[in-house]
Amino acid sequence: MRGLIYICCLLLFVSVNAQQTEMQYLSGKGNDDAVQWDFYCTGGMNANKWTTIGVPSCWELQGFGKYNYGFAKDSVKGKEKGLYKHRFSVPADWRHKKVNIVFEGVMTDAEVKVNGKLAGPVHQGAFYAFRYDISKLLKYGKQNLLEVTVAKHSANKSVNAAEREGDFWIFGGIFRPVWLEALPQLHISSVKINAGADGIFKAVINAAASASEQLKVELFTTGGEKLPGQLHPVLRRPENVFWIQTKVDGIKPWTPETPELYKAVFTLYKNNRPVHSVSQKFGFRTVALRKRDGIYVNGIKVKFKGINRHSFRPETGRTLSYANSVEDVLLIKEMNMNAVRMSHYPPDGHFLDVCDSLGLFVMDELAGWHGHYDTPTGTKLLKEMIAHDMNHPSIVLWSNGNEGGHNVELDSLFTEFDPQQRPVVHPWQLFNGIETQHYRQYNYGIGNYDNGHDIVLPTEFLHGQYDGGHGAGLEDYWDKMWRDPLHAGGFLWDFADQAVVRKDLHDSLDTDKHRGADGIVGPHHEKEGSFYAVKQIWSPVYFERRELTPEFDGKLHIENRYLYTNLDQCSFSWELRRIGFNTTTNKKGMAAAPSLAPGAKGVLDLKLPADWHIYDVLYVTVKDRYHQELFTWSFPVSLPGKKATEIVTTKGEGTVAIDEVDSLYTIRVKDVRMIINKNTGLLVKAENAKGPVLLTNGPRIQEGITNFKNCAYRYEGKNLAITSAFDKKESFNTLRWTIYPSGWIKMEVQYFPMALHTNMLGVNFDYPEREMRSVTYMGNGPYRVWKNRMKGTSFGVWNKQYNNTETGEQWVYPEFKGYYSNFYSGTFKGNDQQFTVATETEDLFLRLFAAAPKTDPWHNYEPLFPEGDISFMQAIPSIGNKTQTSETTGPMGQKNIFYDYEKDPGRALKMVLWFDFSANAPKR
C-alpha cells in the first residue's frame, strides 16, 4: 500500500515531524495513582470544610458525604455536592495550540471553571467522556486555577431516572481521569473505523483543515510490520471530512479466541509537510444480525457465554485502574466465558482496551434502569458514548438502557453515529428480533423463547443470590441453549459481590443486605463454587460422561464447542493417581490433540499404560492455545468399595463384649465403648480412652420414618451383630450394626422415603458444631454442591478447616458447611477427638452442618438442609436464586423421585458406612 494509507497508535515511526496530540494529566490515571486536589463536601461525612481528596475517586469511599444505594428513599433527594479546586501550569509553547480539558467521567452534574470563567455548559450524565475548549481561558507558562462543582444527583430528572435510581450503589465525584490535550490548529479531531473480516478497511476522519490539506494513512500489525494493500485515493468531502476505503489481503480477523489487533496511523499534511498525527488500534471484524436466525461475527453464528459486570471495587467504588480491568477480564475468561455486558453504563476506556487485547465480546450499554434519559440529553450522551467507544472491535452489540429504561427515540441514532452499524438490543424486551427477557424460567415460552421465532439472548439470567444462581441451573439452561439454533447464549447476573468499605462503619463491608450479594466472585474476587461450575459447563472442550470400567480403552468422546478454534490448537495431558490420606503415587503423560473443527465431535485417545486400572483416579487437563487451563476433569477408577477395603480392617485379636441394661446395649471393643438404644437402634454414645467422640443420635432417616424396632443381637463368630426387625407395616426400614474385634463398626441401613418426591434422602447424626475443627475426606471437592450444581469439583483428598462462611456475607472460600459429592471416606477432627467414616456405597454425599437460614424478598433462595449436623445423603436438594425457585431452573432443580412399590425390600435404598471411633486409629 502506497501514498494515502497508513495506521498506528502514537507510533514513533510515523511521518517525520508530525505533531502528536500532547497530553497532560491533571489527575491520576486510576485508583492506584490519584492526585490530591482541594475538596469541600456540602453534606454527610466530613462536610463543610476544605480539605483534600484524591482524584479520580468516589468521595464516599474517601470518607465524605453519604452512602446511597439506588433503592434508598433519600437516594435522589440529597443536595450533596463536591467542590474541587486544582492549580496547574501549562507550557508557554501551547499558546498557539487548541487546548481541551477532558473529563472521562463525573458523577453527576459537572460545572467547570478555569481561572474563574465557565468552560462551557454544565455536563449532565455520569459515565461519559466530555471536553471543553479552554484555549482562551488559560494563562500560558503560568499557574491556572481549575474549579469543578459536582452535584451527586442531577438537576435533570431524566438523568436521575436513568442513573441514580437503579439497583446499585450510587456514588459522587470525579471518578475517572482528567487531562489536558493540546492540538495543533490544523488537526485531526476524530477517526471512525469500520474494518471488516473480509479485509476491507474503511475510515471517516474529521479534521480541522483547509482545502490545501491532504491525509495519509498507514496500517501496521501490532508488531510494527506494515501491511500490504492496494492504493486507493482519499476522497474529500465537505466540512473537512476525509473518507478512505481499501482492501487489505492476508489479515487475521479479530475474535475473542484470537484477538488480533492492528494499528492505524493517520497523518494530516499541509503543503506536503506533516502537521498532526494520531493513531488508533482496531481489529478486522464483522457483526451481522440475521433475524430468525442468529447473531454472526465474522460469518459464524455466536453463542454468548456472558456475565454482567459493574465497574466496582470495595475500596474505590467505580474508580478503577488498568490493572483492575486486566484482573476482571482474566477472571471472566478463566470461567471460559467469551462475553461481558456493561451493566448498566459504559465502562472505563481501559476496560475496553483489555477486552480488545485479551478477547471478550462486549455489549456496551447506554445507562438506564427502569427510567431513561430524555431525548435531548440522551442524544448528547449517546453521541459521547459512541465517540469514545466505537473503534473497539470487542464491542459487537449496543444496548439502549435496561429493563424499561429504553428511550426508543434514540434507537435510530445508534445507526447514525456508529459506522459499523452494530445491532442494538433492549435488555428485558423483544426488540430488533432479539428476545432478551430477564430471568425467564427454564420452560418459559408461549409464542416466544423456545416456542417463538426470534433470536433468544437473555441479557440477565440465573440471578446469583448468595450461593444460588450462576452455576445452579446453568447445565440445564446451557444444554438447551447450545442445541437450539435460535438461542444465542446469555449473560449471567452478575460478576462480583458489590460490597463497599463503609468508612462510617469501621471499614466494614456492606452489600446492602441481599441487594449487592449477587456475584460469582466476592468483593475482592474470592471464588465461589459456582465459579468452577461455570468454568466446567462453559468449557469449549466438552467431555461426554464416561465410566471407567475394566473395558475402558483410553478413549474419551469429546466435542469442540469453540466458535473459531480447531482443537488441534489445544494441549491435552493426563495423570493417573493412586491416592490415600497419607501417600500419593502418579503417572503422567500427554495426549495428541485431535483435529476437530468447531462444532465437531471426535475421540481423544489418551494411550494410557496397560496398568491404568491399578490407579484410583484419572485426571485429564486441557489447555488452550495460550496455555491457560480450560478445566481438569477427574474420572474415578476405583469405586468406594475397593477403597474401603484398603482402610477398614475387620480382623483383630480383641474381643467384642456387650451388656444389656434396660433399653441400652453397651458394647466394648478395644478402647471403644459404644451405647446403642435397643428399641430404636440409634447410637446413643461413643467414647474411647480419651473421652466422648460426640457423634450421636443416628442414623435418623431424613424425609422418612426412623422406625427401626425390636433390635436383637447375636455373635457371628467373633463379630457382634445388632439387627432391627423387619415388618412391612410397622418397621419396614431396617438397621444392622456389626462390631468387629479390630474396632471397626459397620452400619447397614435399608430404608424408604415417605413420599414419591423428596428434597433429600439419607441418614443424620448429631455433632456439636462448636467442637468441629476440620474434615479430611476423599471425594469430590473442595467446593460444595447442590442437586442443580454438581459440576466444578474434582475427585481427590481434601482437607477442610472449619469456617462459618455465609456465602455473599463472608468470603472465606471454600465454605465448610454444605453437601460434598462422591464421598468415599473421611476423618472428622474435633477439639479433642477424631473419628473416621468410610463407605462402600456409591454416589454418597457428605453433609456438614447447615448454613444459616436465609431467603430473599420473594422466598426463591431458601437453602435446605436435613436435621442433625453430619449426614450421609443419597439425594440432596437443589438451590434457587433471587428470581427463581429451584424447580424453575430446569430438570436438575426438580425434587428427587423414588419409586418404592409397596415397601419391596428389593427396591429399598441401601447404605453401608464403616466407623472407627478408636483413639489409637492411624491418622488419615
Q: What integer pLDDT is reported at residue 923 of this predicted model?
A: 59
Q: What integer pLDDT is reported at residue 904 of this predicted model?
A: 79
The conformation of residue 599, written as its DSSP 8-state character, comes to T
| Mean pLDDT, rounded, for 813-833 | 96
Of residues 747, 762, 720, the one with CA closest to residue 838 = 747
Confidence bin at 4 (pLDDT 50/70/90): very low
Residue type at 866? P
Q: What integer pLDDT is reported at residue 234 of this predicted model?
A: 72
Q: List the beta bridge partners of residue 601.
A: 559
User: Cα–Cα distance between 729 and 725 in angstroms, integer?
Assistant: 12
- Give how far Cα 877 sits from Cα of 628, 783, 789, Å: 34, 16, 10
Tell me how crowded residue 233 is: count the other CB atoms within 10 A of its CB: 12
> In this structure, are residues 509 and 499 in contact, taking their beta carbons and an 8 Å threshold?
yes
Which one is predicted more confidently, 862 or 768? 768
> In this structure, are residues 457 and 489 in contact, taking their beta carbons and an 8 Å threshold?
yes
Instruction: Give the cell for residue 872.
Output: 450421609
Instruction: Give the cell for residue 230.
Output: 492496494
16 pLDDT higher than 50: no
Dump pLDDT digits (tens) for 101-118. 999 999 999 999 999 999
423 pLDDT higher than 50: yes
- Give how far Cα 532 sits from Cα of 453, 785, 805, Å: 33, 11, 18
| Mean pLDDT, rounded, for 739-760 | 95
Confidence bin at 894 (pLDDT 50/70/90): very high
User: Cα–Cα distance between 815 and 795 in angstroms, integer?
Assistant: 17
Confidence bin at 857 (pLDDT 50/70/90): confident
User: Cα–Cα distance between 187 and 190 in angstroms, integer?
Assistant: 9
The conformation of residue 317, written as its DSSP 8-state character, comes to B
Of residues 357, 373, 292, 482, the one with CA closest to residue 127 = 373
> In this structure, are residues 389 and 403 in contact, taking their beta carbons and an 8 Å threshold?
no
Confidence bin at 77 (pLDDT 50/70/90): low
User: Cα–Cα distance between 797 and 437 in angstroms, integer?
Assistant: 43
User: Cα–Cα distance between 861 and 807 in angstroms, integer?
Assistant: 12
583 pLDDT higher than 80: no
- 474-483 and 529-537 helices cross at what angle (nearest 10)? 20
Of residues 750, 729, 746, 728, the one with CA closest to residue 738 = 746
Dump pLDDT digits (tens) for 500-544. 999 888 889 999 888 888 999 999 999 999 999 999 999 999 999
> In this structure, are residues 80 and 149 in contact, taking their beta carbons and an 8 Å threshold?
no
Instruction: Give the cell for residue 538.
Output: 462453559
Instruction: Give the cell for residue 522.
Output: 466476592
If phi over 0 gives left and psi between -120 and 50 gives alpha, with beta otherwise, what is residue 64? beta
Confidence bin at 406 (pLDDT 50/70/90): very high
Measured between alpha carbons, how far apart are the two ends of the chain, in Å?
Answer: 71
User: Cα–Cα distance between 808 and 315 in angstroms, integer?
Assistant: 17
74 pLDDT higher than 80: no
Element (H, E) at 691: strand 691-692
Q: What integer pLDDT is reported at residue 232 of this predicted model?
A: 61
Confidence bin at 8 (pLDDT 50/70/90): very low
User: Cα–Cα distance between 808 and 747 in angstroms, integer?
Assistant: 38
Helix (H, G, I), strand (E, B) or coil at 898: coil
Confidence bin at 638 (pLDDT 50/70/90): very high
The conformation of residue 125, written as its DSSP 8-state character, comes to -
Instruction: Give the cell for residue 216.
Output: 495519509
Instruction: Give the cell for residue 86.
Output: 486544582
Averaged pLDDT of the chain:
93
- DSSP states of 699-758 as a string? EEEETS----EEEEEEEETTEEEEEEEPBTTTB-SEEEEEE-TTSEEEEEEEE--SSSEE
Instruction: Give the cell for residue 140.
Output: 500560558
SS3 track for 486-540: CECEEEECCCECCCEEEHHHCCEEECCCCCCCCCCECCCCCECHHHHHHHHHCCC
In the numeric block, the cell 485379636 is attached to: 653
User: Cα–Cα distance between 737 and 730 in angstroms, integer?
Assistant: 20
- Give how far Cα 53 sits from Cα of 24, 41, 57, 83, Å: 20, 10, 8, 11
The conformation of residue 9, written as its DSSP 8-state character, comes to S
Of residues 577, 582, 521, 645, the one with CA closest to residue 799 = 582
> In this structure, are residues 565 and 541 in contact, taking their beta carbons and an 8 Å threshold?
no
Dump pLDDT digits (tens) for 681-737. 999 999 999 999 999 999 999 999 999 999 999 999 999 999 999 988 889 999 999
Q: What integer pLDDT is reported at residue 907 of this predicted model?
A: 84
> In this structure, are residues 749 and 765 in contact, taking their beta carbons and an 8 Å threshold?
no
User: Cα–Cα distance between 535 and 544 in angstroms, integer?
Assistant: 16
In 390-502, which residue ranges form alpha helices assigned H by DSSP?
411-417, 474-483
Burial degree of 712 (CB within 10 A; 0-12, 13-18, 19+): exposed
Of residues 561, 363, 393, the one with CA closest to residue 457 = 363
Q: What integer pLDDT is reported at residue 539 of this predicted model?
A: 98
| Mean pLDDT, rounded, for 337-344 | 97
Confidence bin at 446 (pLDDT 50/70/90): confident
Dump pLDDT digits (tens) for 190-241. 999 999 999 999 999 998 766 567 888 999 998 889 887 655 657 666 677 8
Dump pLDDT digits (tens) for 292-308. 999 999 999 999 999 99
